[in-house]
Chain A
């Protein structure tokens, strides 16, 4: 072994790519180090549902052979974990649900396929809120994930396992999905970087669907540079996703170097209204000051419909959810109730037993807002308000390059603190939901601490402006060290 393999976990994805290329350590050594860490540290975190050890070693050894023969692709030997709603061929894909507790996917999601082709080594599947419906990881059938910064706190959700694993240095990067903030909010709460690309930028093929007009795949990493590298691999047209957009994929890494000077950053007046923790607000102001001192121009803007984004989301998302979840019938795959008396009993009991409380609530909310007599008042109305929200963003981006603000209203909250009231939980996503409704890309980057817990800076850009978002985030990270902070016990 040519380098201290025990210290490989501190390296970022970009540093690992370089180290592997230079032969300072092998993919096998790296895999062994990280699987060892996972074995030692995961019990308290509960970040994983399945650890794919045998497959990981096989892939790592294949990567080392490819390296030796001079055919190493970009991410050759780089370890990664996938949120457990990405289908992975021959591996359990549970979506954090009892319903899919025994589901072994017969195919790979496009995101998984592209990362495999680029040489990445899959170490595990990460824990998540059941079917991505939750903001705290507490709705998982496999139990909540804990936050490595404080194990009594939630890591956020729904991609909480992915975020906790990256924050705890168990893996350099993870995939996630974001329907209302499910990549960005856990990234903020764990001090990691979370990128949600433009709707249609990354294929949804092989992602278990939650709300199809909002769902988007993305990544959680420790730096914007790492996110840029991964986005370059997973982005791009896929004919198997009917909403995939056929647009060229820019070289995101090459765009990182552009200076901040002259970048127009929109500050939303409504973001600093009541509801935002004062320490979080202070961290956001400081981050904006840093960017301003480098020549960025801060411009105050309005998003008058911001307050309506959460109720709009909680009509549109449950409506699409109720439709998507109808595929779980206890017949073709998934949980089936014992001894059904007839077909209706089979459907109702399989679904009643297979789904947890939050998933049932969302299915029923969706069923209600789509039902005869209520469709116009709720669903159609929400789709009209959604149009107003999109218009707000479109207007804002006439004046600014990116919009900056908080990712979440508070730092990580205590496990159990918000489970009694769904509305309190839903309001966690007030700053993130707009980007899903408008389909715009957004990123959360660490910008300091409040109550010894990480705070996330949220950047939103116009459609397909991931290059600019990653560039601004990277330039900010060149000026600050918040993304290098490591939770105690995970150094």
Chain B
């Protein structure tokens, strides 16, 4: 990753000079995002992810120029709020049928690696 700190050359100049795109996300940032998203990235896919995520972030950055002072953020396409219903049982769940898709179950419980030492 290029480090522009303390340099007189702006990232734009570097692009002009060497014809590469200054990546807006660092490898460390992408590593952090991947951890937050609980995604293990292989070493072989890392450069591609950093490059493409940077391009996506640059692309959506054009929103910053849109005039939105006093505009309320939209929450629902039809301006509706969530419908409420009485808090009563409506579905009978067949546990065995649902757990048939689970990678590991025993006695109706989902099995995971040991969590507490």
CB-CB contacts of B65-78 with A at 8 A, as 1s and 0s? 01010011111111
State the Cβ distance, B101 to closest chain A Cβ, in Å.
4
Check if B57 is an interface residue, CB within 8 A of chain A: yes
Q: Are A311 and B62 in contact (CB under 8 A)?
A: yes
Check if A243 is an interface residue, CB within 8 A of chain B: yes
Q: Are A360 and B39 in contact (CB under 8 A)?
A: yes
Given contacts A242-B82, A357-B45, A423-B56, contact A364 B39 (CB under 8 A): yes
Check if A377 is an interface residue, CB within 8 A of chain B: yes
Check if A269 is an interface residue, CB within 8 A of chain B: no
Q: Are A368 and B53 in contact (CB under 8 A)?
A: yes
Q: Report how far A382 CA is from B33 CA in the complex, Å.
A: 20
Check if B60 is an interface residue, CB within 8 A of chain A: yes
Q: Report how far A315 CA is from B63 CA in the complex, Å.
A: 10
Residues of A within 8 A of B8 (CB): none
Q: Are A331 and B85 in contact (CB under 8 A)?
A: no
Within 8 A of A (CB), among B97-114: 97-98, 100-104, 110, 112-114
Given contacts A361-B56, A390-B74, A390-B77, contact A333 B30 (CB under 8 A): no
State the Cβ distance, B36 to closest chain A Cβ, in Å.
5
Q: Are B33 and A367 in contact (CB under 8 A)?
A: yes
Residues of A within 8 A of B48 (CB): 357
Within 8 A of A (CB), among B3-40: 25, 30, 33-40
Nearest-neighbor residue (CB-CB) of B66 within chain A: A385
CB-CB contacts of A227-249 with B at 8 A, as 1s and 0s? 00000000000010011010000
Given contacts A352-B41, A364-B53, A367-B37, contact A388 B66 (CB under 8 A): yes
Q: Are A308 and B66 in contact (CB under 8 A)?
A: yes
Check if A387 is an interface residue, CB within 8 A of chain B: yes
Nearest-neighbor residue (CB-CB) of A239 within chain B: B85
Check if B87 is an interface residue, CB within 8 A of chain A: no
Q: Report how far A361 CA is from B110 CA in the complex, Å.
A: 29
Q: Report how far A348 CA is from B36 CA in the complex, Å.
A: 10
Q: Are B56 and A422 in contact (CB under 8 A)?
A: yes
CB-CB contacts of A202-241 with B at 8 A, as 1s and 0s? 0000000000011000000000000000000000000100
Given contacts A343-B112, A384-B71, contact A308 B63 (CB under 8 A): yes
Residues of B within 8 A of A72 (CB): none
Main secondary structure of the interface of A (DSSP, over half): helix
Q: Report how far A71 CA is from B8 CA in the complex, Å.
A: 81
Q: Are B74 and A384 in contact (CB under 8 A)?
A: yes
Q: Are A463 and B40 in contact (CB under 8 A)?
A: no
8 Å CB contact of A369 from B59, B60, B72, B113: B60
Q: Report the count of interface residues on B (CB-CB < 8 A).
A: 54
8 Å CB contact of B104 from A336, A367, A422: A336
Q: Are A361 and B52 in contact (CB under 8 A)?
A: yes
Interface core residue of B78, B82, B83, B114 (most chain A CB under 10 Å): B78
Q: Are B53 and A463 in contact (CB under 8 A)?
A: no
Within 8 A of B (CB), among A371-396: 371, 377-378, 380-388, 390
Residues of A within 8 A of B90 (CB): 239
Q: Are B40 and A106 in contact (CB under 8 A)?
A: no
State the Cβ distance, A371 to closest chain B Cβ, in Å.
6
Q: Are B77 and A213 in contact (CB under 8 A)?
A: yes
Q: Report how far A367 CA is from B25 CA in the complex, Å.
A: 13
Given contacts A364-B53, A365-B56, A369-B60, contact A348 B40 (CB under 8 A): yes
State the Cβ distance, B66 to closest chain A Cβ, in Å.
5
Q: Are B68 and A422 in contact (CB under 8 A)?
A: no
Nearest-neighbor residue (CB-CB) of B96 within chain A: A106
Check if A355 is an interface residue, CB within 8 A of chain B: yes
State the Cβ distance, A205 to closest chain B Cβ, in Å.
11
Given contacts A102-B101, A314-B59, 9 further A-B contacts (CB under 8 A): A106-B101, A239-B90, A334-B101, A343-B112, A345-B113, A348-B38, A368-B33, A387-B68, A423-B55
The contact sample of 28 A-B pairs, CB cut-off 8 A, is A104-B100, A200-B77, A242-B83, A243-B76, A245-B80, A308-B63, A311-B63, A314-B59, A329-B38, A343-B112, A344-B38, A345-B40, A348-B39, A353-B40, A361-B56, A363-B37, A364-B34, A368-B33, A368-B53, A371-B36, A381-B68, A384-B68, A385-B71, A387-B71, A390-B77, A421-B55, A437-B77, A438-B77
Query: Sorted from nearest, which 7 A-B pairs have the closest CB atoms?
Result: A439-B77, A352-B40, A383-B73, A336-B103, A333-B101, A384-B68, A348-B40
